[in-house]
Amino acid sequence: MQALSERNKKILCAIVQSYINYPDPVGSRAVTKRYSFGLSPATIRNIMADLEDLGFLTQPHTSSGRVPTDLGYRFYVDSLVAEESYHPNIEVLHDLYRKLETLKNDIDTLLSETTKNLSTLSHYLGIAMSPRPNMTTLRRINLLKLGTHKIAAVLFTDEGLLKNKIITMDSDFTQRDLNRIAGYLNSEFAGQTVDDIRLRIIREMSKEKTNCYRLISRAMRICQEAFTFPYSSLFVSGLSEVLELPDFADLKKIRELSRAIEEKHNIIKLLDRLSESEGVQIVIGSENSLDELKKLSVVVSPCKEGDLTIGVVGIIGPTRMNYSRAIYIVENTAKFITKMLAER
């Protein structure tokens, strides 16, 4: 079992390419017809058998054409340089995203609309996520008295997130109290991540018994609630788009897909991990650690402004995905969103 010859690499890529374009297993004759390697079907057959032995291809059943394995797709994606594949014109993308300009102050709506763009462009599921509030850097906190025992905490972060929480307290506060507390919190905590702040609060709280400053002890109690955010918002759209694909022609596949996207929790974790790196990340089928995604591929890119991750955008689709196109779309979407958010 020797390594891949240059020629065989090309043939492997051609097979993958062909399968991506036409949803049928590709046979030896199809390869000779669609690509001109100057080889006869019989030779291609031999090579295909070799590629199968190496784990790049499989046969759905004896005597049908070959289909790429996840390893095959991986090889193809890794050797994708500048495919001649047809992409949506950059202008089209530009126009689509220009329409979202007005939303740049409302991250959630912006991201949710972005997923619609992603899915109409790619015909796969569009996904987008705002940064987890827990990982963001506090710029400013304001406390507003809403009613007896009720306080609104308004958090504003470096990433441009504006989050609010209603807190119900045992004791009552005047707005003046709250201003002083907020002032204290800002001086102490501004510039730290919400997570770090939470940690510090827990430490402070344990010291609290011995703490004679009422201000601080009260501030701590408020914070404990204010800095606890239950979720990061994940937006998904384009289900009806995906259901048109031949890859999701049977009920079982659809069930799997729907389960995958209902477990937002898991996808959030995945995206969190993927958004640590830079640029477009691609996870193909079984490479995925999540069971629900083992038959799907994920193409995502973080939107980064310097070191700050201000969002993640991407696509989920079948492993038989037009990767070249998907990468192009995700890459440029990330660029547009980043630019838009940077201009705020």
- Residues of the shown chain interacting with DNA in the complex, contacts defined by CB under 7 A: 24-30, 38-43, 45-46, 48-49, 52, 59, 61-66
230 binds its own copies (CB under 8 A): yes
Beta bridge partners of 235: 128
* Strand duo 57-58 + 67-68: pairing: antiparallel
Nearer to DNA, 22 or 213 (CB): 22
Nearer to DNA, 58 or 109 (CB): 58
The DSSP secondary structure of 213-268, one letter per residue, reads -HHHHHHHHHHHHHT------EEEE-HHHHTTSGGG-SHHHHHHHHHHHH-HHHHH
Answer with the entry of its own copies, DNA, none that 14 interacts with (C-beta below 5 to 8 A by kind).
Answer: none
Close Cβ partners of 341 (under 8 Å, ≥ 6 residues apart): 104, 107, 160, 303, 305, 310, 311
Answer with the entry of DNA, its own copies, none that 40 interacts with (C-beta below 5 to 8 A by kind).
Answer: DNA
101 binds its own copies (CB under 8 A): no
Within 168-197, the residues that bind its own copies by CB under 8 A are 168
Nearer to DNA, 91 or 250 (CB): 250
Answer with the entry of DNA, its own copies, none that 59 interacts with (C-beta below 5 to 8 A by kind).
Answer: DNA
Q: What's the min distance (Å) between Cβ of 126 and its own copies? A: 11
148 binds its own copies (CB under 8 A): no
165 binds its own copies (CB under 8 A): yes
Answer with the entry of DNA, its own copies, none that 30 interacts with (C-beta below 5 to 8 A by kind).
Answer: DNA
The whole-angstrom separation of Cα 270 and Cα 294 is: 13
Give the long-range contacts of residues 112-115, CB within 8 A, separation 24 or more: 112/235, 112/237, 114/235, 114/313, 114/333, 114/337, 115/235, 115/236, 115/237, 115/238, 115/313
162 binds its own copies (CB under 8 A): yes
Give the phi and the psi of residue 162 in degrees, each rounded to 5. -120, 115
Q: What's the min distance (Å) between Cβ of 259 and its own copies? A: 5
The residue type found at 109 is T
One of 156, 186, 224, 331 touching its own copies (CB under 8 A): 156
Close Cβ partners of 52 (under 8 Å, ≥ 6 residues apart): 58, 59, 66
- HEC sequence for 297-326: EEEEEEEEECCEEEEEEEEEEECCCCHHHH
Q: Which 8-state DSSP code applies to residue 209?
A: G
Give the phi and the psi of residue 144 in degrees, each rounded to 5. -120, 135
Within 245-264, the residues that bind its own copies by CB under 8 A are 249, 251, 254-255, 258-259, 261-262
291 binds its own copies (CB under 8 A): no
Nearer to its own copies, 153 or 274 (CB): 153
243 binds its own copies (CB under 8 A): yes
Give the phi and the psi of residue 103 in degrees, each rounded to 5. -95, 5
Within 108-147, the residues that bind its own copies by CB under 8 A are 109, 139-140, 142, 144, 146
Residues in touch with its own copies (CB under 8 A): 103, 105-106, 109, 139-140, 142, 144, 146, 152, 154, 156, 160, 162, 164-168, 230-231, 237-240, 243-244, 249, 251, 254-255, 258-259, 261-262, 344
